[in-house]
């Protein structure tokens, strides 16, 4: 049996597990579904999604994979629903903020991006969200104006996003400038340098290095307790054994960008193309790195969620 949490005109259907956890004040971690349908091929995407949920549970929190199914906002999916998203892959619409009303009204399935996952998580009362990497300002945005909706969502939606920094394919310097303008804290979890998804390096500093889940939880309580709306980026580097070489990755990305421009690929199709091309050019190494960084983010998110709940009860 599933329960619906209704807020205004928005309706979020919670799984039994997620509903019980929220009512009991237990730690819950939101997970996105675009990474399942658009992030990697089947069956790796299905195996990864289950492994991420298990990692959250192993570290003391309840996973809430978020999606839209037949027009209903959902927090908490069954194994069969996750496998369906994994098998259908890109056939399922990739849904950001602007797409939600269309998908809901037409009663379609939608895989949620960082932005739309944040929206549904906040509606469901979930404050902590683990993903791979956030979107940002694309390279060449001074002429294309290609800027991810993730950044605008971070400016207005009060959810902490644990990620391996911004995706390497982006202009990381401009992404940080944009987040600063929007008042979004960018905090490094046990690092002073913003990771760049596949690699622990980017050459850019975070706003502050925070060394424990407990300290991170206190910062979240301070921000939202003061009425400062908006999200927080918690940058968690990929584990050392899986970090790819920074210079090698930059060469790979430049080659991928050149091919993308030659083919005239733009807008929401650019990120899937670039990630696929990076996987091809790294002979699959980037896929393993992608999986490991998501698992690591799930672990840290569960620890931060547990600390956040514990500090709230004090």
Q: Are residues 109 and 163 in the same domain?
A: no
Q: Are residues 181 and 53 in the same domain?
A: no
Contact 170, 179 (CB under 8 A): no
Each residue's pLDDT tens digit, 167-225: 777 889 999 999 999 999 999 999 999 999 889 988 899 999 999 999 999 999 999 99
Q: Are residues 81 and 205 in the same domain?
A: no
Question: Does residue 70 have an active-site annotation?
Answer: no
Around 121, how many Cα atoms within 13 Å sit in the side-chain half-sphere?
A: 31
Q: How far is the C-alpha of 306 from the C-alpha of 311, rounded, in Å?
A: 9
Each residue's pLDDT tens digit, 214-240: 999 999 999 999 999 999 999 999 999
Each residue's pLDDT tens digit, 31-67: 999 999 998 889 999 999 999 999 999 999 999 999 9
With CA atoms as reference, report the closest residue to 12 among 74, 55, 56, 62: 74
- pTM higher than 0.85: yes
Contact 2, 16 (CB under 8 A): yes
Q: Are residues 41 and 154 in the same domain?
A: no
Of 126, 151, 167, which residue constitutes the final position of a domain?
126
With CA atoms as reference, report the closest residue to 48 among 252, 304, 297: 297
Q: Regarding beta strands 62-69 and 110-112, do their DSSP bridges make them parallel or antiparallel, or are they unpaired?
A: antiparallel
Average pLDDT taken over every residue of the chain? 91
Measure the CA dihedral 69/75/80/81, to 10°. 20
Domain-located, residue 31: yes
Given 32, 53, 83, 122, which residue is catalytic? 32
Is the pLDDT confidence value at 8 over 70? no
Question: Does residue 17 have an active-site annotation?
Answer: no
Q: How far is the C-alpha of 205 from the C-alpha of 186, rounded, in Å?
A: 9
| DSSP states along 23-88 | HHT--EEEE-SHHHHTSS-TTHHHHHHHHHHHHHHHTT-EEEEEEEETTEEEES--HHHHHHHHHH
Domain-located, residue 131: no
Residue position matching structure tokens 């430049």: 254
What count of other Cβ atoms lies within 10 Å of the Cβ of residue 313? 6
Q: Are residues 100 and 30 in the same domain?
A: yes
Total tally of structural domains belonging to the chain? 2
Confidence of residue 3 (pLDDT cuts 50, 70, 90): low
Given 167, 223, 277, 279, which residue is catalytic? 167
Q: Are residues 141 and 251 in the same domain?
A: yes
Q: 295 is in which domain, residue-wise?
A: 136-314
With CA atoms as reference, report the closest residue to 216 among 281, 141, 160: 160
199: β partners = 196
Q: Are residues 149 and 239 in the same domain?
A: yes
More confident residue, 95 or 280: 95
Q: How far is the C-alpha of 88 from the C-alpha of 109, rounded, in Å?
A: 11
Tell me the chain's radius of gyration from C-alpha atoms: 18
What count of other Cβ atoms lies within 10 Å of the Cβ of residue 265? 15
User: What's the CATH code of the domain at 83?
Assistant: 3.40.1790.10
pLDDT score at 9: 34
Q: How far is the C-alpha of 10 from the C-alpha of 83, rounded, in Å?
A: 26
């Amino acid at each position: 049996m599933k329960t619906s949490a209704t807020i205004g005109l928005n309706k979020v259907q919670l799984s039994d597990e997620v509903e019980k956890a929220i009512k009991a004040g237990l730690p819950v971690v939101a997970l996105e579904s675009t990474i399942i349908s658009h992030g990697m091929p089947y069956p790796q995407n299905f195996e990864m999604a289950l492994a991420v949920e298990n990692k959250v549970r192993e570290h003391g929190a309840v996973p809430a994979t978020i999606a839209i199914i037949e027009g209903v906002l959902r927090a908490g999916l069954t194994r069969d629903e996750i496998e369906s998203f994994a098998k259908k892959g890109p056939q399922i619409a990739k849904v950001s903020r602007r797409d939600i009303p269309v998908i809901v009204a037409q009663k379609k399935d939608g895989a949620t991006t960082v932005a739309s996952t944040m929206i549904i998580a906040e509606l469901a009362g979930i404050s902590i969200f683990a993903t791979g990497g956030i979107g940002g300002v694309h390279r060449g945005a001074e002429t294309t104006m290609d800027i991810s909706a993730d950044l605008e969502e971070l400016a207005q939606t009060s959810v902490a996003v644990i990620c391996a920094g911004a995706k390497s394919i982006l202009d990381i310097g401009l992404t940080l400038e944009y987040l600063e303008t929007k008042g979004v804290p960018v905090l490094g979890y046990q690092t002073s340098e913003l990771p760049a998804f596949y690699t622990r390096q980017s050459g850019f500093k975070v706003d502050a290095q925070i060394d424990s889940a407990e300290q991170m939880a206190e910062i979240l309580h301070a921000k939202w307790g003061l009425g400062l709306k908006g999200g927080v980026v918690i940058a968690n580097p990929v584990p050392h054994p899986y970090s790819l070489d920074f210079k090698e990755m930059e060469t790979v990305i430049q080659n991928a960008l050149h091919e993308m421009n030659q083919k005239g690929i733009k807008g929401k199709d650019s990120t899937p193309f670039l990630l696929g091309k990076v996987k091809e050019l790294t002979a699959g190494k980037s896929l393993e790195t992608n999986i490991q960084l998501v698992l690591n983010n799930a672990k840290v998110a569960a620890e931060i969620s547990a600390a956040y709940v514990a500090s709230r009860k004090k």
